[in-house]
Homo-oligomer: A and B are copies of this chain.
Amino acid sequence: MTGRRSEVREPQQDRSRATRQRLLESTIELLAVHGWAGSTVAEVAEHAGVSRGAAQHHYPTREDLITGALEYMFDGRMTELRGGAAEIGAGPSRTLHVVQGVVDHFTGNLFKAALQVWTAAAADEQLRARIVPLEAKFGRHAHRTTIEMLGADDADPVVHTLVQATLDMARGLGLADVLTDDSARRERIVRQWADTLHTALDSAGAGRSRP
């Protein structure tokens, strides 16, 4: 009997997981393309091909859906970033690869969706209370991932601050790409910054712990 029950439960769990995934991916896409006003629960459910009732079963409020989507996509991007970094060697090409990966992270649909949420949260106390701790977590996670990818020593205050600055610059480059395709200008900045960062990290003595 236990066997039969788990056979029945498994496919339903798979279906639920697939439904949630479609809802989360639709949320990010609609936020990025149609903005805050164009991504209500009803619109997300329709885009995902899910009934509104089913959407609300999984995510009772719009805030639940949006924070769930940001978290799901962020975790996925960080895993991808880490995976890509494992393949590369050491030296300046590694720094360039890491800066490029971090900047790519801030110029995709996830960033464009998050920007819509942050901007809405700036004038919405209730949403802000949900987003601020999530943002802090994303910030810490992105910092730790970048440090690991660089093989740098975060205990060195210069290294710590330069990696923070790199993430801030990547965020600024993301913002510059929202209304127009900024990729040509961005490529020059990524190359120059990777070069400057590599020199600065080396002279900070971070080179000692880098492979």
Contact = CB atoms under 8 A, between A and B. Distances in A.
Contact of A119 (B119, B161, B192): B119
A128 interface: yes
A136 to B, nearest CB: 8
Nearest to A31: B123
A85 interface: no
A84 interface: no
Interface in A118-177: 118-124, 128, 131-132, 135, 158, 161-162, 164-165, 167-176
Given A161-B188, A162-B196, A192-B162, A167 B172 contact: yes
A2 interface: no
Contacts of A37: 37, 123
Contact of A164 (B34, B174, B185): B185
One complex includes copies of this chain to the number of 2
A169 B161 CA distance: 13
A178 interface: yes
A185 to B, nearest CB: 7
Interface residues of A, number: 46
Contact of A38 (B123, B135, B164): B123
Contact of A124 (B35, B165, B196): B35
Contact of A165 (B120, B131, B169): B169
A112 interface: yes
Q: Which of A118, A168, A185, A199 counts the most B-chain CB atoms under 10 A from its CB?
A: A168
Interface of A: 33-38, 112, 115-116, 118-124, 128, 131-132, 135, 158, 161-162, 164-165, 167-176, 178-180, 185, 188-189, 192-193, 196, 199-200
8 closest A-B pairs by beta carbon, nearest first, are A35-B123, A172-B172, A171-B172, A168-B172, A161-B192, A119-B119, A169-B169, A196-B200
